[in-house]
Amino acid sequence: MRSAGLATGLGAAMLAAATLSLATLAQAAPPPATLQEVVAWADRSLSGVDDLPMLGFNALGITFASPKGAMLRPSGLIEGDIRQEFFEPVELDGQVMRSTTARWTVDCAHQRYAVLRMTLYAGNNLKGQLSERETAPPVWLARDKISEQAIDAMCETAKKGLRLDAPPPPPSR
């Protein structure tokens, strides 16, 4: 009887270890790396992003532009709203988040940005608001992995002389 109990205990321990190993492997799975993998992840994991232009993605997650667009200010700075959805939890100032919304201003000439307002969420799909912050005056941040594709997209649009919130030009005849 005792050996059966030991075998059962050992089997339970092995099952727990295997489950833990599988969970560790699942957590260690690499983030989506190609556009096709990112789209598949977004289709499985996100809602409410179908009408949002994707500014880009990196190893951390996806950055979307607001459907409202952005404004080219007379100063040459571009201001707009973005949404970020992260593949895995990300820690910022002691808070673990999976998504954010933010109002950015971008200085294309100096390749920098400032976060004017930001809301952090515990879950993807803007679920479980953790905190909201505003920054005045703007604190300029250097281009980094999180900002690079958003800066490129916003500055490319400005370089072409288009407003991000302007309707597309009428087709040529």
Q: 134, exposed or middle or buried, with CB in 10 Å at 0-12, 13-18, 19+?
A: exposed
What's the pTM value of the predicted model, to 2 decimals? 0.72
Domain edges within the chain: 1-30, 35-159
Task: Walk along the chain (173 residues) and give the pLDDT tens digit of each residue.
Answer: 333 443 333 333 333 333 333 344 345 578 899 999 999 999 999 998 988 888 889 889 999 988 777 788 888 899 889 999 999 999 988 999 999 999 999 999 999 999 999 999 999 999 999 999 998 888 999 998 878 888 988 888 766 655 554 444 445 54
CATH for 35-159 (3.30.43, 2.40.128, 2.40.10, 3.90.1570): 2.40.128
Classify 20 as helix, strand or coil: helix
